[in-house]
Amino acid sequence: FFEYYYFVYVYINDIIIFNKSEKEYLTYLQIVFNIINEYYIYIGANKSFIKYLSIKFLKYIINKEGISKINN
């Protein structure tokens, strides 16, 4: 996934796709699914979250505005 650093982040067993529009998201999602399929990577549907507008990941908030650190 390294060449796709501008829209995908991989950390241990998490894959996060981020973008600014739904059209971009669907394109990026297809790219990621193609890679997952090509390398026989299995993902559990019960652990998959698709099309969230904003997520908290580690100590960050990721949304269409970008990535920002959560200050505690």
- The whole-model pTM stands at 0.77
Q: Given this model, what pLDDT does residue 36 score?
A: 94
Span 16-51, pLDDT tens digits = 888 888 899 999 999 999 999 999 999 888 888 888
* Residue at token pair 């990535």: 67
Q: Which helix (H) or strand (E) holds 54?
A: strand 54-57
What is the C-alpha R_g of the chain?
A: 13
| Mean of pLDDT values over 54-58 | 91
> Tell me, what DSSP letter sits at residue 47?
G
Are 61 and 54 in contact by the 8 Å Cβ rule? The answer is: yes
